[in-house]
Amino acid sequence: MDLNKEILQANILIVDDEPANVTLLKRYLQREGYQNIHTTTDPREVNGLCDKTDFDAFLLDIRMPEINGFELMAWLNKRYSNNNYLPILVLTAQTDQETRIRALNEGAKDFLTKPFDRIEALTRIHNLIEVHLMHQKLKQQNVKLEEKVKQRTKELYHTRQQVIRRLGLAAEYRDNETGNHIIRMSKYSYLFALAIGLTEKHAELILNAAPMHDIGKIGIPDRVLLKPDKLNAEEWKVMQSHVMIGVEILSGDDSELMLMAKRIALHHHEKWDGTGYPAGLKGEEISIEGRICAIADVFDALLSIRPYKKSWTVDQTINLIESEAGKHFDPQIAQSIRLLLPELLKIKEQFPDDLEEV
Of 195, 166, 197, nearest to 183 by C-alpha is 166
Q: Which contacts (CB < 8 Å, 24+ apart) does range 106-109 have?
A: 106/70, 106/73, 106/74, 106/77, 107/73, 107/74, 107/76, 107/77, 108/60, 108/73, 109/85
Alpha-carbon distance of 285 to 283, in angstroms, equals 5
Burial of 354 (0-12, 13-18, 19+ CB in 10 A): exposed
CB 15 within 8 A of CB 43: yes
Q: How far apart are CA 20 and CA 27, in angstroms?
A: 11
217 is catalytic: yes
What one-character DSSP code corresponds to residue 309?
A: B
Closest CA to 205 of 266, 263, 253, 256: 256
Cis peptide before 115 (omega within 30 of 0): yes
Residue 126 to residue 129: CA distance in whole angstroms: 5
> In angstroms, what CA-CA distances link 149 with 199, 204, 209, 278?
25, 21, 23, 41
The candidate with the shortest Cα–Cα distance to 110, out of 70, 64, 35, 60, is 60
Q: What is the spatial distance between Cα 11 and Cα 58, in angstroms, rounded to a whole number?
A: 9
Instruction: Name which of 149, 156, 187, 146 is nearest 253 in CA terms.
Output: 156
**274 phi and psi, to 5 degrees?**
90, 10
Task: Please give the C-alpha separations between residue 114 and each of 13, 25, 40, 298, 314, in angstroms, as whole numbers.
Answer: 17, 11, 18, 83, 88
Active-site annotation holder among 217, 262, 271, 348: 217
Residues noted as catalytic: 217
